């Protein structure tokens, strides 16, 4: 198994950046609780400490202090001991988590759920090891007042700002030139300056197949025969998980990204590149051919078995690194809902149930997820919300229908079928939009679809013939770091429609939904900040600010502001 396992392979995995060793991601956060995900460098027992005041003074450094705990009359307290003079300082109001044993079986990760916090409060955190036999310092995550902190939701909010990003691949496709990583610094700075409260990562937070130097699918094609011969069937998924974990540790090893994830609660949803480009959008023949090489076409049954095992490894690793710090969901369900202030959010999973070969016309979300979404739209939570947001990792409206449905000959069939605009998805899209428009009409509120995926920033307004007063918008931010040559970006921008009607299936020829482009498509790397507030007339107003990059100058500018009511 050592031949195929990816844990710390060194030169065999040629990452140009340091890999993620230890880090914290702030996850789902309410007014009184939070989830803190941590990966440690080595196995040990760990605890976290959370405090409403900085653990260290402005001029103090963690290396001068060791963490300690003591119990008195059944009450546990947290202290810092100076390693030079032995002085101790008790940290009032500190909250200590339970001990957790972090093991290689879970890639040395854990999620702590911390309750009993105060609304609208800034908290600072650190993590420390309990077994010091093989350590020079007990600190695993040092007290750092600048980046190791977060804020809970406020009780009442007149204004709310959150960030939106997708498509993180900061390397040129077939080389290891680092590109666009400055976008993360600016993203964090803008969130900080505008009192940003949380972030939505709406797909492709990593690319398992994006860079040929570290693509785990290229690796599988290279070693497939040997892998099948030497690795027992019951061990294969676990070995494959080491490949997916290596991808996360590589893509998330950048300090610029980690400094954002450690400060702002981040809600995530996967898309195809957390699994395989176009996953779920292939027909049976195309799926069988995915593992073919010019020198080896292989056995179809064997290839399908490997594909399914890779998907299982991708799903388990996605849960481990991303979904585990989202709001809790039942087993094998990744779509979820949450609220922030007076806004209601639903995050759709467009990969876990996607199957282009499914005979029923629910190939993307599936029947069960669509029912959950409709139930949510009809809930008191949505009825009482001042604004409604739905994450659809792939945009509802974007590219020209002609382009989407007639470019299979160019070898991009899976990318086209990924789109809601592909004819195989029209019926399901109609069901989704009919439900969304009906809710927007019933509640007299605008509904906003938030998306990524397409490597172009754009904004649309949609109207429905049956619900003429209902307001629905499509807001897309993509990509934060993916390197897209200008010529290709310009070509993609040309496929974006400025207005038109959404086509329907043969049984419903007359279109119901019209759309209008609200801005010039953004061809550069981008992220978005979205502000929700009440205007002077008492209306809920959503401000969409899109920030774009010019890599040559490493600058980021605000490209567009739309005020949507």
Crossing angle for the helix pair 300-321 and 233-251, to the nearest 10 degrees: 50
Whether residue 460 sits in one domain with residue 374:
yes
Number of domains the chain contains:
2
The range of the structural domain enclosing residue 105 comes to 31-151
Q: Last residue of some domain: 100, 133, 151?
A: 151
Q: What is the mean pLDDT of residues 186-215?
A: 94
Residue 5 lies in a domain: no
Whether residue 314 sits in one domain with residue 237:
yes
In this prediction, residue 213 carries a pLDDT of: 86
Q: What is the mean pLDDT of residues 202-228?
A: 91
Whether residue 60 sits in one domain with residue 207:
no
Whether residue 163 sits in one domain with residue 143:
no
DSSP string of 226-261?
HHHHHS-HHHHHHHHHHHHHHHHHHHT--HHHHHHH
Report helix, strand or coil for 59.
coil
CATH at residue 318:
3.60.21.70
For residue 406, name the pLDDT band (cuts at 50, 70, 90).
Answer: very low
DSSP string of 94-111?
-EEPPPEEE-GGGTTEEE
Q: What is the mean pLDDT of residues 321-345?
A: 97
For residue 157, name the pLDDT band (cuts at 50, 70, 90).
Answer: confident
Q: Judging by beta carbons within 10 Å of its beta carbon (0-12, 13-18, 19+), is residue 145 exposed, middle or buried?
A: middle
- Cross-strand bridge partners of residue 388: 344, 447
Q: How far apart are CA 479 and CA 520, in angstroms?
A: 16
Contact between 388 and 342 (Cβ < 8 Å): no
DSSP state of 376: H
Q: What is the mean pLDDT of residues 433-454?
A: 96
Q: What is the mean pLDDT of residues 19-41?
A: 97
Contact between 46 and 91 (Cβ < 8 Å): no
Residue 14 lies in a domain: no
Q: What is the mean pLDDT of residues 285-294?
A: 75
Q: What is the mean pLDDT of residues 523-538?
A: 91
Residue 13 lies in a domain: no
Residue 20 lies in a domain: no
Contact between 475 and 459 (Cβ < 8 Å): yes
Name the percent of the chain lying above pLDDT 70.
92
Q: Which residue has the tokens 């920030």?
A: 547
Cα 563 from chain centre: 25
Whether residue 275 sits in one domain with residue 304:
yes
Q: What is the mean pLDDT of residues 391-398?
A: 94
| pLDDT score of 402 more than 70 | no
CB within 8 Å of 77: residues ≥ 6 apart: 69, 70, 71, 90, 91, 94
Q: What is the mean pLDDT of residues 247-251?
A: 96
In this prediction, residue 289 carries a pLDDT of: 82
Residue 17 lies in a domain: no
Q: Last residue of some domain: 116, 151, 186?
A: 151
Whether residue 271 sits in one domain with residue 225:
yes
Whether residue 169 sits in one domain with residue 132:
no
Whether residue 491 sits in one domain with residue 342:
yes
In this prediction, residue 161 carries a pLDDT of: 96
For residue 405, name the pLDDT band (cuts at 50, 70, 90).
Answer: very low
As a whole number, the mean pLDDT across the chain is 90
Whether residue 201 sits in one domain with residue 131:
no
Whether residue 440 sits in one domain with residue 526:
yes
In this prediction, residue 565 carries a pLDDT of: 64
Query: Could you give the maximum distance between any two Cα atoms of the chain, in Å?
Result: 82
Tens of pLDDT along 48-86? Answer: 999 999 999 988 999 999 999 999 888 899 999 999 999
Q: Last residue of some domain: 151, 178, 197?
A: 151
Kindly report which listed range (1-5, 229-233, 292-296, 452-456) carries the lowest average pLDDT score. 292-296
For residue 399, name the pLDDT band (cuts at 50, 70, 90).
Answer: low
Q: What is the mean pLDDT of residues 156-173?
A: 91
Whether residue 94 sits in one domain with residue 187:
no
For residue 10, name the pLDDT band (cuts at 50, 70, 90).
Answer: low
Whether residue 198 sits in one domain with residue 135:
no
The helix (H) or strand (E) run that includes residue 88 is strand 88-90
The helix (H) or strand (E) run that includes residue 438 is helix 426-443
Query: Which of 112, 141, 145 has its CA nearest to residue 26?
Result: 112
In this prediction, residue 489 carries a pLDDT of: 81
Residue 12 lies in a domain: no
Q: How far apart are CA 126 and CA 141, in angstroms?
A: 5
| pLDDT score of 453 more than 90 | yes
Q: Is the model more confident about 213 or about 461? A: 461
CATH at residue 92:
2.60.40
Residue 6 lies in a domain: no
Residue 26 lies in a domain: no
């Amino acid at each position: 198994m050592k031949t195929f396992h990816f844990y710390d392979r060194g030169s065999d995995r040629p990452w140009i950046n340091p890999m993620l060793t230890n880090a914290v991601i702030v996850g789902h956060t309410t007014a009184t609780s939070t989830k803190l995900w941590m990966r440690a460098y080595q196995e040990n027992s760990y605890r976290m400490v959370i405090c409403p005041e900085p653990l260290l003074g402005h001029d103090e450094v963690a290396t001068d202090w060791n963490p300690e705990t003591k119990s008195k009359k059944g009450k546990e307290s947290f202290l810092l001991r100076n390693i030079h003079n032995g002085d101790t300082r008790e940290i009032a109001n500190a909250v200590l988590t339970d001990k957790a044993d972090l093991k290689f079986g879970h890639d040395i990760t854990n999620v702590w759920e911390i309750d009993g916090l105060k609304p609208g409060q800034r908290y600072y955190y650190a993590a420390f090891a309990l077994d010091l036999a093989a350590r020079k310092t007990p600190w695993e995550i040092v007290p750092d007042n600048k980046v190791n902190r977060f804020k809970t939701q406020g009780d009442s909010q007149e204004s709310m700002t959150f960030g939106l990003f997708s498509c993180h691949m900061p390397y040129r496709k077939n080389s290891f030139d680092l590109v666009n990583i400055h976008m993360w610094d600016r993203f964090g700075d803008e969130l900080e300056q505008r009192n940003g409260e949380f972030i939505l990562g709406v797909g492709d937070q990593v690319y398992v197949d994006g860079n040929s130097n570290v693509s785990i699918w290229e690796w599988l094609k290279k070693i497939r025969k040997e892998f099948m011969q030497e690795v027992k069937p019951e061990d294969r998924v676990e070995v494959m998980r080491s490949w997916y974990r290596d991808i996360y540790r590589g893509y998330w090893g950048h300090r610029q990204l980690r400094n954002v994830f450690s400060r702002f609660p981040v809600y995530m949803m996967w898309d195809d590149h957390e699994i395989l480009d176009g996953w779920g959008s292939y027909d049976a023949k195309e799926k069988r051919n995915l593992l073919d090489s010019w020198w080896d076409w292989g056995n179809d049954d064997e290839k399908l078995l490997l594909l399914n095992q890779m998907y299982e490894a991708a799903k388990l690793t996605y849960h481990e690194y991303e979904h585990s710090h989202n709001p809790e969901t039942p087993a094998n369900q990744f779509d979820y809902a949450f609220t922030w202030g007076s806004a209601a959010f639903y995050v759709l999973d467009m990969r876990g149930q996607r199957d282009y070969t499914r005979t029923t016309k629910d190939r993307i979300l599936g029947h069960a997820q669509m029912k959950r979404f409709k139930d949510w739209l009809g809930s008191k939570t949505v009825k009482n919300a001042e604004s409604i947001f739905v994450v659809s990792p792939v945009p509802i409206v974007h590219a020209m229908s002609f382009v989407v449905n007639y470019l299979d000959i160019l070898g991009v069939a899976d990318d086209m079928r990924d789109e809601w605009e592909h004819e195989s998805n029209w019926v399901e899209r109609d069901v989704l939009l009919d439900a969304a428009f009906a809710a927007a009409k019933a509640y007299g509120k605008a509904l906003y679809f938030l998306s990524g995926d397409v490597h172009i920033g754009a904004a649309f307004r949609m109207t429905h013939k049956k619900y003429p007063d209902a307001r629905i918008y499509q807001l897309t931010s993509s990509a934060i770091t993916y390197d897209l040559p200008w010529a290709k970006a310009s070509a993609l921008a040309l496929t974006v429609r400025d207005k038109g009607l959404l086509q329907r299936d043969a049984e419903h020829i007359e279109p119901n939904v019209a759309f209008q482009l609200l801005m010039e498509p953004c061809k550069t790397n981008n992220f978005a900040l979205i502000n929700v507030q009440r205007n002077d007339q008492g209306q809920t107003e959503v401000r969409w600010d899109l920030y774009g990059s010019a890599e040559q100058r490493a600058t980021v500018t605000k490209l567009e502001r739309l005020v949507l009511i």
